A and B are shown apart, each in its own frame.
Chain A
Amino acid sequence: METSEKELSPQESLQLIQTMINKTKDSVADDSFYFLLWGWLVFFCCIAEFILKVYLQYPQHYFVWCLMPVGGVISGIYGSRQSKKKRVKSFVDEALDYLWIALAMAFIVLIFINVLGQTSWQSVLTYYILLYGIGTFVSGKLLRFRPLIIGGLINFVLAAVSVKFSYDYQLLIGSLAILISYIIPGHLLRIRHQQQKN
């Protein structure tokens, strides 16, 4: 595209528009880092709390969740570094940002509900699984990425199933939910981005 003065035919104009719009298809950021970070972190915490509570009968088993703010700090640092590198912002990126900001606020509100409510901790994981489902289903639809959509849908079922179980087993259902909706799709999303780059 050396000159701007070349006379274009209508066909050439439409062709050019199509080519340029196609070139923006790789502009959506690789968000797999967040799915993998939070996926593995929550998975570890669910399993660790289950072992501490059920097998070791450690009274402060819930302390493992102190790792969550660490995830928040790592996400924040990674996010600010990525935004410095990023040269284009797509509409999908913007929609995903607002979706996950809203969900992060909901996760924090759930912590308060959990701490302030006397018995709410017994079913808190059900609501976390429900929120994971919303996040991954909508992300999957926006990114047109089927593993996230499927993971999200399975989480809706797991959320409903989890109310029938005690907190101990909800921890295992939670770890299964995060494996299906974050960890597996996260790894597949990373592979997709690497393939798009090459």
Chain B
Amino acid sequence: MFKELDPILHSQLRLAVMSLLIAVKEAEFTYIREKTNATAGNLSVQVQKLKEAGYINVVKQFKDNYPLTTCKITPKGVEAFEAYVKALQQYLQAGES
């Protein structure tokens, strides 16, 4: 039996955000937006979903009077990402055999 792919991660933009955040310590919202080419509105919604799932931490603060949002992956997020990649590998191996 195949493991079901985590629906939180199995979405293009959310997976892109998680893949970025797994590779760095933390990143600002504007950096993530630039790297994913997403619109601010769409990205906000998906970041919120990842936050609600407990996969990322979102810190909102002010820097020189401008709002600044910083995102960082949580241990739960790392675990979920690893499980997702393992599940993907199972699917691909099944496809090859």
Query: A-side interface residues toward B, CB under 8 Å?
Result: 1-6, 8, 10-11, 13-14, 16-17, 19-21, 23-24, 27, 84, 87-91, 93-94
Contacts and interface: CB of A to CB of B under 8 A. Distances in A.
Contacts, number: 88
B49 to A, nearest CB: 9
A6 B26 CA distance: 27
B83 interface: no
Contacts of A14: 85, 88, 92
A93 to B, nearest CB: 7
B12 A6 contact: yes
A14 B90 CA distance: 12
B76 interface: no
Contacts of A2: 38-39, 42
Given A4-B14, A4-B42, A24 B20 contact: yes
B38 A1 contact: yes
Nearest to B13: A4
- Band of interface residues on B: 35 or more
Nearest to B25: A89
B59 interface: no
Interface of B: 5, 10-16, 19-20, 22-28, 30-31, 35-39, 42, 45-46, 63-64, 84-85, 88, 91-92, 95
Contacts of B23: 20-21, 24, 27, 90
A1 B37 contact: yes
Contacts of A94: 25
A4 B10 contact: no
8 contacts: A1-B16, A1-B36, A4-B12, A10-B88, A16-B19, A27-B27, A87-B30, A93-B25
A148 B11 CA distance: 41
A90 B25 contact: yes
Contacts of B45: 4
B7 to A, nearest CB: 11
A87 B95 contact: no
Q: Which of A6, A17, A89 has the most CB of B within 10 A?
A: A17
B15 A16 contact: yes
Contact of B95 (A3, A4, A10, A17): A10
B64 A84 contact: yes
A6 B37 CA distance: 15
B63 to A, nearest CB: 7
Contacts of A20: 15-16, 19-20, 23, 35-36
B11 A4 contact: yes
A90 B16 contact: no
Given A2-B38, A21-B23, A87-B30, 13 more contacts: A1-B13, A1-B36, A2-B42, A4-B13, A4-B14, A5-B11, A14-B92, A16-B12, A17-B85, A88-B31, A89-B26, A90-B24, A94-B25
